[in-house]
Amino acid sequence: MNLCYDYAGQTVLVTGAAQGIGREICRRFCAAGARVIAADIDAATLAETVAACGGQCEARRLDVTDRAAVHALIAATGAVDVLVHSAGGVCGQAGRPLEIITEADWRRIFAVNTDGAFWCAQAVAPGMKAKGRGRIVLISSGAGLGVSLTGIQAYAAAKAAEIALARQLGHELGPFGITVNSVAPGFIRSNPSTERQWQAMGEAGQARLMDTIALRRPGEPADIAHAVLFFASAEAGWISGQVLSVDGGK
């Protein structure tokens, strides 16, 4: 339940909504009364998000790397009150020596993480400016503040760029009543990719990871969703350009 937040009458767009963190964010906003647009490139799995939201959200297939598609979705949806860019990830890649990384590998991760964040913010900004208010929340990563557990150079760099983008856009859009912030999750067991990472660590590796976390547990999608709903709320109206680490304590 969302006891503190009421988003009735607001339209919330969540990218990367087909699973894990994005799905939980959709579920929480629906529970708080928002009209939720759940967007993801994986149209089939989006149906599971709709079911998790009790049929209350609207599923839209979207490739966030396609600028024209992003702008077309916003044109069809209408003005958005809250944008949560949760799309991203490692695009199926694993850590490898930098000498063998191809241009396509590098650019693909930047396209879905950083480029996607920019295209989405660019598309929703005019409607938010017209209203004189808005909230943009970018889901970055602890990898953008430190070192990536995956060892993927492009992922760490792209997430650092998202954090810098939130800071820059917060400064640019503040005069229009729009806040822009970033949530940087620690290790979250949220989807098949992170489950594979968790299992690949083995018991010893899992124990070592838990020893680095003050609360001695991996995160859950709900931990991130709580932070997002706060940043999107009226209570966070004088917070912008910030990054909040939600990592169990380091």
What does the chain come to in residues?
250
Q: Are 119 and 67 in contact (CB under 8 A)?
A: yes
Query: What token pair was written down for 225?
Result: 């969703």
User: Is 155 in the active site?
Assistant: yes
Tell me which of 7, 118, 119, 155 is the catalytic residue. Answer: 155
Alpha-carbon span 185 to 218, nearest angstrom: 10
Alpha-carbon span 195 to 12, nearest angstrom: 28
Alpha-carbon span 78 to 45, nearest angstrom: 24
Q: Are 122 and 69 in contact (CB under 8 A)?
A: no
Q: Are 38 and 29 in contact (CB under 8 A)?
A: no
Stated as kind and residue range, the H or E segment containing 234 is none
Q: Are 109 and 62 in contact (CB under 8 A)?
A: no
Catalytic residues: 155
